[in-house]
Amino acid sequence: MTTEGNDPVLVGREGRVGIVTLHRPDRRNAINAALLDALVDAVGQLDADPDVGAIVLTGSDPAFCAGLDLAALASGERFGVGAPGQRGPLGARRTPLVGAVNGPAVTGGLELALACDLLIASERATFADTHARVGVMPGWGMSVLLPAAVGARRAAEMTLSGNYIDATTAAAWGLVNRVVPHDRLLPEAVGLAADIAAADPEVVGELLTLLHTTTALAPDAAWEAEAAASRRWWRERLDTAGIERRRTEVIERGRRQQG
């Protein structure tokens, strides 16, 4: 599945990794209705494909995503922001999503980055929440996901001031996993996604669902949710033969990664 040309979202594959690229570079990949529909459709199709084990989301340079297209918003376009029961712009997934932030990720673009499970940032990446400056309320999880990523006080600083932070600060605050040179961004993100895709897809899907569940709960409820998932897995789905088959591979991989 590959798209090109004037499509607002480009979709490609490298092995078991799907690559989704926001592609309105003349508008700094700002989100209008067409881009959002194409993005949701692309991620949904890749998530449903059993041959895809992980997805990378990035933007066409120079930006990752400038947020909602304010000109489109002013003209009357609506984007499904804040719909009842909606959890972010992309909804629920069982396929891990690795964000490759290649430039500014602003407001709705930052919410899109926060919807990813892991974030790799280019040295050119910057991050800002400008809801207060634009004069709109968030509807894709900024007030939930940003404090979870950087802590309540740092989230308050970003949200209330609208100030930008650079990639190094984002890494220090825990917003991104790591920062890499710009020309290494996509290879690093695809490499990490390939590592994820090489693991047992059924277990990865269950683990991702569990992480999404426990991070939204208070500690006691999170502990119980993990215990319940563990009991259910051991009772219904434990594959002892499969574990034995993979044991040597896991040991050898660990040795290689430790030098």
Domain assignment present for residue 207? The answer is no
What pLDDT is stored for residue 91 in this prediction? 82
* CA 152 from centroid of its chain's CA atoms: 20
In the block, residue with structure tokens 């591979």: 249
Per-residue pLDDT at 72: 83
Tell me which of 89-98, 114-123, 154-163 is least confident. Answer: 89-98
Are residues 118 and 147 located together in one domain of the fold? yes
**Low-confidence winner among 20-24, 88-92, 230-234 (lowest mean pLDDT):** 88-92
Contact indicator for 53, 16 with CB cutoff of 8 Å: yes
pLDDT digits (tens, 9 = 90+) for 59-80: 999 999 999 998 887 787 776 6
Is the pLDDT reported for residue 3 higher than 70? no
Mean pLDDT of 133-148: 93
> Do 225 and 131 belong together in one domain?
no
Same-domain pairing of 52 and 103? yes
The residues, ordered by sequence, that sit 6+ positions from 70 with a Cβ below 8 Å of its Cβ are 30, 134
User: What tokens appear for 210 in the block?
Assistant: 């569990």
Let me know if residue 102 belongs to a domain. yes
> What confidence score (pLDDT) does residue 95 get?
97
pLDDT of 84 higher than 70:
no
Same domain, yes or no, for 172 and 221?
Answer: no
pLDDT exceeds cutoff 60 at 82? no
Are 49 and 19 in a shared domain?
Answer: yes
pLDDT tens digit sequence for 190-217: 999 999 999 999 999 999 999 999 998 9
Q: What is the spatial distance between Cα 100 and Cα 90, in angstroms, rounded to a whole number?
A: 16
**Structure confidence at residue 238 (pLDDT):** 76
Q: What is the pLDDT of residues 220-256, one digit of tens each?
A: 999 999 999 999 988 887 777 777 777 777 778 788 8
Residues 128 and 191 in one domain: yes
Do 75 and 135 lie in one domain? The reply is yes
* Cα 193 to chain centroid, rounded: 11
Bridge partner residues of 156 (DSSP): none
Question: What is the count of structural domains for the chain?
Answer: 2
Q: Does 106 share its domain with 171?
A: yes
Q: Rounded mean pLDDT of the chain?
A: 91
Q: Is the pLDDT reported for residue 5 higher than 60? A: no
Domain that holds residue 17: 9-197
The Cα-based distances of 211 to 72, 144, 148 in angstroms read 35, 15, 13
Mean pLDDT of 21-49: 95
Query: Is 110 among the domain residues?
Result: yes
Residue 27 scores a pLDDT above 90: yes
Phi, psi of 45 (to 5 degrees): -65, -45
CATH number, domain of 109, equals 3.90.226.10
Q: Are residues 56 and 156 in the same domain?
A: yes
pLDDT for residue 1: 41
- Same-domain status, 58 and 148: yes
Same domain for 192 and 119: yes
What SS3 string covers the chain?
Answer: CCCCCCCCEEEEEECCEEEEEECCHHHCCCECHHHHHHHHHHHHHHHHCCCCCEEEEEECCCCCECCECHHHHHCCCCCCCCCCCCCCCCCCCCCCEEEEECCEEECHHHHHHHCCCEEEEECCCEEECCHHHHCCCCCCCHHHHHHHHHCHHHHHHHHHHCCCEEHHHHHHHCCCCEEECHHHHHHHHHHHHHHHHCCCHHHHHHHHHHHHHHCCCCHHHHHHHHHHHHHHHHHHCCCHHHHHHHHHHHHHHHHHHCC
| 171, pLDDT greater than 70 | yes
